[in-house]
Amino acid sequence: MAGNVNPTVRRRRLGQELRRLREDKGMTAEEVADRLLVSQSKISRLENGRRSISQRDVRDLCGVYEVDDKKLIESLMQMARESRLQGWWHAFAELSPTYSVYIGLEMDASSLRVYEPQIVPGLLQTHDYAAAVIAGALPEVALEEVDSRVQVRLRRQHRIHEDRVPLRLWAVVDEGALRRAVGGADTMRGQVEHLLDCSRLPHVTLQVMPFSAGAHPGVNGQYTIMEFPENSDSTVVYLEGVTNDLYLEKPHDVQHYSVMYEHLRAQALSPEQTRDFLEGLLAEFIKQAS
């Protein structure tokens, strides 16, 4: 991948520009699809950045929208070329095509707000914990694929530990995820020690949602809110599924999940209380391992 071009983000930005041109023309996606003799779903996928956009697609859409600004057309063409480049994560696309979309967005995000009820967030996992989680969640995959997935997960963590401008991460993790003995006591001891180290990083905030909190806005499951450095890039809420993932970008959806996250923060242990909790949990795992 050349320079700092992120093909996933380029597709997304190009899709936003094409949507703007369509709306400025006063046309619906269905009308555009009829003009080009394609499905309406193709137009929608192009506009939401979930499908690769060819230069031919750009040319045809600019024709429908009667765009005559040559500089704008060339800019859109360049974005289309860049959107078809490949990031490092595309080498692992066969593991999960939908996962590569998420990684592309995560690589360009400036901040993540994560709630995890079942496991430690991937960006904070140790090698041994990640291997145990993946092997347990995918019992039928070969060891080689488990290792490949672990390597992808660890590569993602460069955003936390190695980038000059690190990712701002705020994670609320349910107590149950931390008491689940993934990989055994030794693995959990290493994982909790790693969480303590990460919690002291200036760009990482970690909070535990204790059992004592009772019902809370996160009981319906995991979600991630991704924000981006460019104002033109809308915030994305990511919901992970077993076979399909969901990306929400409509303002009212993002607002709903953002408000829920504020309630999660308020009900969870403070960062200082969380470190105290982790110290106590670490002592328990050390005792179990001895």
Q: Is the pLDDT of residue 165 over 90?
A: no
Q: Is the pLDDT of residue 281 over 50?
A: yes
- 187: buried, middle or exposed (CB in 10 Å: 19+, 13-18, 0-12)? buried
Alpha helices in the chain (DSSP H): 7-25, 29-36, 40-47, 55-64, 70-83, 97-108, 127-137, 143-156, 158-161, 175-179, 185-199, 251-267, 271-289
pTM (two decimals): 0.76
Q: What is the pLDDT of residue 197?
A: 97
Q: Is the pLDDT of residue 1 over 90?
A: no
Residue with tokens 């040559």: 70
Q: Give the list of residues 6+ apart from residue 265 with CB closer than 8 angstroms, or none.
A: 170, 172, 207
Q: Among 56, 83, 59, which Cα is nearest to 72's?
A: 59
- Please indicate whether residue 277 or residue 20 has the higher confidence score (pLDDT): 277
Query: Which string of b and e fits 76-109 if b means at least 16 CB within 10 Å?
Result: bbebbbbbeeebebbebeeeeeebbbbbbbbbbb
Q: What's the chain's average pLDDT?
A: 87
Residue with tokens 């079942």: 118
Q: What is the pLDDT of residue 97?
A: 58
Q: What is the pLDDT of residue 86?
A: 62
CB count within 10 Å of CB 3 equals 7
- Please indicate whether residue 81 or residue 284 has the higher confidence score (pLDDT): 284
CB count within 10 Å of CB 273 equals 13
Strand 204-209 relative to strand 223-227, pairing: unpaired
Q: Which region among 105-119, 207-221, 236-250 has the lowest average model confidence (pLDDT)?
A: 236-250
- Please indicate whether residue 247 or residue 111 has the higher confidence score (pLDDT): 111
Residues above pLDDT 90, as percent of the chain: 51
Q: What is the pLDDT of residue 222?
A: 93
Q: Is the pLDDT of residue 6 over 80?
A: no
Task: Look at the alpha carbons of 70, 72, 73, 77 in this order and tell me if their dihedral is positive or negative.
Answer: positive
Looking at mean pLDDT, say which of 9-13, 79-83, 127-131 comes out highest.
127-131
Q: What is the mean pLDDT of residues 241-248?
A: 77
Q: What is the pLDDT of residue 3?
A: 41
Q: Between the CA of residue 255 and those of 51, 171, 181, 251, what are the distances in Å? A: 26, 18, 35, 6
Q: Which region among 59-63, 139-143, 161-165, 213-217 has the lowest average model confidence (pLDDT)?
A: 161-165
Q: Which region among 166-170, 205-209, 219-223 has the lowest average model confidence (pLDDT)?
A: 219-223
Q: Among 254, 198, 195, which Cα is nearest to 224's?
A: 254
Query: Which string of b and e fits 193-228 if b means at least 16 CB within 10 Å?
Result: ebbbebbeeeebbbbbbbeebeebbbeeebbbbbbb
Is 134 in contact with 146 (CB distance < 8 Å)? yes
